[in-house]
Amino acid sequence: MIRPILTEFALFITPFVLYALFLWATREGVLDVNAWSMPRLMWLTMSALVMPGSTYVPAHMENGRLVPGTER
């Protein structure tokens, strides 16, 4: 039961972590309040909410044929 919750949490937090890594790599202030403005936080939140909404069905065999992976 905890695995799906951790997976959803990891998908939600990914955009924020990537943005923090971007700020660190460009030597911007990761803890600077101006780097985490409200519009930027809204975009990160929207992208985070879109990520867990998709379901990936991995490639599998059906009747001896390989069916490629799809998103639902």
**Of 60 and 5, which is predicted with more confidence?**
60
Q: Region 46-60: what's the mean pLDDT?
A: 81
Could you state, in order of their start, the residue ranges of all structural domains in the chain?
1-47
Q: Region 28-39: what's the mean pLDDT?
A: 87
Q: Region 34-50: what's the mean pLDDT?
A: 90
Shortest CA distance to 44 belongs to which of 22, 71, 72? Answer: 22
Q: Region 5-34: what's the mean pLDDT?
A: 89
Residue 44 is predicted with a pLDDT of: 93
> Around 64, how many Cα atoms within 13 Å sit in the side-chain half-sphere?
0
pLDDT confidence band for 53 (50 / 70 / 90): low
